[in-house]
Amino acid sequence: MHFLIILIAIAVLESNGQLAFIQRDIWVQKWHGALAKLSSSKLPALDNNPRLKVAVYVLVPAAVLQLVLWYLGSGILVFLLELAVLLYCLGRGDLSAQISVLQSDIQRNDLQAAFHDAAVFNIGHRAVSADNAAGLFRELAATLPYRLFERSFVVVFWFFFLGAPLALAYRLLALHGDMQLGSVDVQVDEEPELDKEQSSEEDFIEILEDTAPDEANKLLWYLEWIPVRALALTLGLMGDFSKATAPLKELVFCPKTSTADVLRLCVLGALNNQPAEAMGATGATETAEPTETIEANEVEETAALSQVADIVALFRRSMTGWLVAIALLVLTS
């Protein structure tokens, strides 16, 4: 049944582009706000332990969902509920439309518009900046693969193997950072001590950056650890296997490298376009020619356009490969 739900969800996502009709996150903000008030008034232990607070924020909705599924048992209601949860857990926004707009601007050599378009791929706390064509390509190589990964692959992965509650837990952790829910805690805890006339906007931003979203990011990294390495192997099978898996061999047990960095190195390797900095990060001993280094660091607009299309195509092939693998698991089980 899970495989059928996944197929329907992917079909709905591809046909609609975005799922605003079901992906309403107001309840997430209300739930986090209620938890913040509860911890500040009745459960001070949560305020003293940000990781525990984030865990409660994630585990309570996931546990409620699991209890409802247990109560319903099986049948059409369970099927519809799990389908609704999976659709809710998929990524936000119309990613295909955003990619099309970006490609159109790059094709017209309008880098200023392309910089603006690329910003939508920088999800909240993972944002970076670029000021030239080479920087734009490096930014897209780091952010676009992650957007494609978190949009569907990791959600489908956990939904199939461990069920809807874990898929919901993953999306709640991602929303915690993307919606900067930690700012609620800052306003509650710090506002009485701040002199609004004297504090600057930069000071307030620094406060936001040092709060609970970091704890959510750490837990999110754990949930992404297995799926990103499974996807990296698939990217190698769909592209240049040796170069895609070379960085994975070095980073497979690395406790510090972010999910986006692992994907960046493996995607560039699969596309046979691994820059000098990536080779150095993976410990490769081959030395690139000067002309190759220049070409890697100063990517032209047309090359960036083709790479964007190649990245999307690579992920589509990988996702299709995983759907085939899941179908084979279902048939043989």
Q: pLDDT per residue over 43-77, tens digit each?
A: 777 778 888 889 999 999 999 999 999 999 889 99
Compute the average pLDDT of residues 321-329.
Answer: 90
**Range among 97-106, 111-120, 162-171, 304-313 with highest mean pLDDT value:** 162-171
Residue type, position 291, single letter = T
Strand (E) positions, the chain?
A: none
pTM > 0.85: yes or no: no
C-alpha 208/C-alpha 204 separation (Å) is 6
Lowest mean pLDDT among 16-20, 117-121, 151-155, 282-286: 282-286
CB 156 within 8 A of CB 322: yes
Whether the per-residue pLDDT at 202 is higher than 50: the answer is: no
DSSP H or E run through 326 = helix 301-332
Q: How far apart are CA 22 and CA 82, in angstroms?
A: 13
Residues 151 and 99 sit within 8 Å (Cβ to Cβ) = no
**Which tens digit of pLDDT belongs to each residue from 89-141?**
999 888 889 888 988 888 887 778 888 888 888 865 454 456 667 777 778 88
7 sits in the region (left: phi over 0; alpha: psi -120 to 50; else beta) called: alpha
Confidence of residue 174 (pLDDT cuts 50, 70, 90): very high
Whether the CB-CB separation of 207 and 186 falls below 8 Å is answered with yes
With beta carbons less than 8 A apart as the criterion, state whether 189 and 137 touch: no
Alpha carbon 78 to its chain's center? 27
